[in-house]
Chains A and B, each alone.
Chain A
């Protein structure tokens, strides 16, 4: 009794590569287009068509591999994975089994543990099936068929869900820095399958694993790992045994269901694709690629501290996403003091990302707009309150801050008469607070300032309002 178990996790991470065109034809890879509009005879698997490798795929896949300290294979080739399913127009997927593009890498988590990468292989995505509830029909959209993917396969080196999330966050940042993918879980450009087993603490022998699919958020991954670990533990404690199977996570129900067991495992009849000659990657090509790798997070963070005098904590957060870091740098490059830019991003920016559950990639505010916004604020043409409002409005819409301010008349009011009238009105309507203030309660003044600001829709300088109130209330 009282055995303690340890969770052992390995990941298969599918990442859609951000190429302009598909992996084996010239069709665009855009997301969200009308069904079957981004297709051609090749990605529809029409008779007589042939795949031709998009060179950019090899470039991006190898770049990701180099960033993860992988060995890039000098000779890599594609294999066919055969299975009948209508999402795949040819009924085989072109993937890599025997000679994947990268092998044997690692990613070190910020808390220090190292996760080994088994391999990275390139492959084509399948189309999307859509089940029509009303008619009972199933329709296929082949827009996604042939979109390039890499599959990053880790060794079973994780011991907790937290480690998995830390790994995925770092991986996402790395891939975003390389601009190799959008890494959006919701849109499916980042897909994570979790292989999980449990074993007795200290035991060398791995248990029977299950593979978990349909994990659409980091939150779902974390929860699924916890629930699956507990499920396996319960089975073992009840004297049962785990069956090797693929399970589908249902996030609404908070539990998983078996999809297919490995006993009915498909025989994919892999063999080298005769339509695609082996790709020879020269030492020189790999070295050129390595030398062109962009500045990664760690280096960028250090540079932010040195070059812009950004505190370490801020630099850490600002470089957490290439898109945030880029907005910072490009705005600063327009002559705005780094401190001002960083204050906005660290305060308002991070708050908005959190509250709107936004990805930093989707920030629409341009460096130019941001710079003008800060300038308006600096020149006291808009108040701090208005600046925050404009920042929020422009953040995910990209609206021009100057146009926004002008369109809504948000410029700070300098009209003494209007201000005086407003203050008089506030005094008249808040007799009790006025009495309190006159009676010595300083706090009451703040309330009156607030009421005036509210009546002015934030477009007055608080200092001016305070002075005016004091003047009118001084006996």
Chain B
């Protein structure tokens, strides 16, 4: 069964001529036809173009011009990554008809590697949310239980990978948006160190925290995707040069990689009101790592009660500025009013949804004169403290283990009922964004109801290899 193959297995079979690129693509589109009405993983499909590209890639693979591990693999991309000539909506009415004139760097690198871009996945509007329910184009349902949320904001990507509507996907993670839906959908999600993947072409929500990350079926696929998209990009001043990193090659060690690893488990994580089944998954993961030769230890991390308010203060502040460009003047939605200000007002009132407006208003407030010092500047200071605290922890531990989200996938509609509660659910994931550190969500067991639960591993900056090695060890039976 083609669809059950991992991306790496598929590309190997394609290279060997056992499976054709078009054949794999058609299998994916058949699955999309079967499940998409129920799940709604995609906002836009790239059917015609994808078929044409598949034929081109097949020629290159057959002639030996393309030999990489992603050649011919059908991949989905979150709809906040610009794709040349293919509509990019960011899940918003504001950009419903926006067709970018260029590819995001991450997308361009996938194309160069011969991956086939099959469509743009659903997401919370402008990546603001953790349930893919603030999308202007309807919510994405969890493939394991259609009454439940796929998580968010990269819910479309995670659900598409889980439902085999693609072989792998790109998501973006500003406060857990790759890791949390990966956890809810039972797939692997990685947020790389800030600066690892270029943000060029990623439509900004919070510039100082946004990172593109892989959503995959397993850890090896995750490493392969990261190797492809990582690297310095002169069009992003915050991207970082790391010479000759091959994350896939780093996985050759196998299970032995966990031997001697020092794993810290923050004690506070057990007091944050997480479900017992979620905490049990963390304990089970700790036991497994111990069996593999790691040293595990509970410790007090500190400052955990400040991470959510700090995150939202900074993220909303930056967002309020980043989203100012959507004014109806140059591209996207324009609702003509009487005069300039009225046109601004109508365009932004009709173009943005409730959650986006909530964050933009909060953001404008924390940056405004007289409040900047008390909120935004203070949040920047706390952010530094949080970074110091985590840096200190990584002096004692190689990795930090914890939950991804307080619960398994919630029922649809929960997130909208109590926005504050929804925000507080980000407590385990936002630290990695505030500090720029890499973190990965790994499926680890199921709840009594059969829902997937993930655990999270966090590492010091640029320690993705270690994260992937431990993840691989943990995911092997």
Binding site for B on A (CB under 8 A): 41, 44-53, 80, 82, 84, 86, 89-92, 140, 267, 269-271, 274-277
Contacts and interface: CB of A to CB of B under 8 A. Distances in A.
Contact of B101 (A41, A80, A92): A41
Contacts of A45: 325, 330
Given A46-B100, A269-B368, A271-B317, A84 B327 contact: yes
30 contacts: A41-B101, A41-B102, A44-B330, A46-B102, A46-B330, A47-B95, A48-B199, A48-B202, A49-B200, A50-B199, A50-B235, A50-B236, A52-B234, A52-B237, A53-B237, A82-B320, A82-B321, A84-B344, A86-B327, A89-B330, A91-B324, A140-B329, A269-B321, A269-B372, A271-B317, A271-B376, A274-B318, A275-B207, A275-B238, A277-B237
Given A50-B235, A90-B324, 10 more contacts: A46-B102, A47-B98, A47-B203, A52-B234, A82-B321, A82-B324, A86-B329, A274-B206, A275-B207, A276-B237
B367 A269 contact: yes
The B interface is mostly helix, strand or loop, or mixed, namely: loop
Contact of B238 (A267, A269, A277): A277
Contacts of B340: 86
Interface in B100-132: 100-102, 104
B238 A271 contact: no
A267 B365 CA distance: 11
Contacts of B327: 84, 86, 91
Contacts of B202: 48
Contacts of B236: 50, 52
The 10 closest A-B pairs by CB, nearest first: A91-B324, A274-B208, A269-B367, A274-B207, A48-B201, A47-B203, A48-B82, A48-B203, A90-B325, A45-B325
Contacts of A52: 234-237
A372 B325 CA distance: 57
A270 B207 CA distance: 15
A51 B237 contact: yes
B194 to A, nearest CB: 10
A270 B203 CA distance: 21
A284 to B, nearest CB: 22
Chain B interface extent, by class:
35 or more
Interface of B: 80-82, 88, 90, 95, 98, 100-102, 104, 199-204, 206-208, 234-238, 317-318, 320-321, 324-325, 327, 329-331, 340, 344, 364, 367-369, 372, 376
Contacts of B376: 271
Nearest to A25: B235
Contact of A50 (B81, B200, B318, B344): B200
A79 to B, nearest CB: 10
B104 A48 contact: yes
A274 B380 CA distance: 12
A41 B203 CA distance: 12
B166 to A, nearest CB: 22
Contacts of B206: 274
Contacts of A51: 237
B140 to A, nearest CB: 22
A47 B200 contact: no
Given A86-B327, A274-B208, A47 B321 contact: no
Nearest to B324: A91
Contacts of A82: 320-321, 324, 367
Contacts of B344: 84
A271 B321 contact: yes
A92 B323 CA distance: 10
Given A89-B330, A274-B207, A47 B90 contact: yes
Nearest to A142: B330
A457 B375 CA distance: 81
A269 B237 contact: no
A226 to B, nearest CB: 35
- Looking at A51, A86, A91, A269, the one whose CB has the most chain B CB atoms below 10 A away is A269
Contacts of B325: 45, 47, 89-91
Contacts of A276: 237
A275 B321 contact: no
Given A52-B234, A86-B329, A274-B208, A47 B367 contact: no
A46 B101 contact: yes
Contacts of B90: 47
A171 B80 CA distance: 47
A215 to B, nearest CB: 26
A84 B330 CA distance: 13
Contacts of A53: 237
A270 B95 CA distance: 26
B101 A267 contact: no
Contacts of B207: 274-275
A90 B324 CA distance: 6
A45 B324 CA distance: 10
Which among B88, B237, B331 has the greatest number of chain A C-beta atoms within 10 A? B237
B237 A267 contact: no
Contacts of A140: 329
A47 B100 CA distance: 8
A177 to B, nearest CB: 31
A249 to B, nearest CB: 24
B450 to A, nearest CB: 38
Contacts of A270: 367, 372
Contacts of B82: 47-48
A271 B98 CA distance: 28
B455 to A, nearest CB: 30
Contacts of A90: 324-325
Contact of A271 (B203, B234, B329, B372): B372
B321 A92 contact: yes
A275 B340 CA distance: 28
A86 B340 CA distance: 9
Q: In this complex, which of A46, A276, A277 has the most chain B Cβ atoms within 10 angstroms of its Cβ?
A: A46
A48 B204 contact: yes
Contacts of A91: 324-325, 327
B334 to A, nearest CB: 12
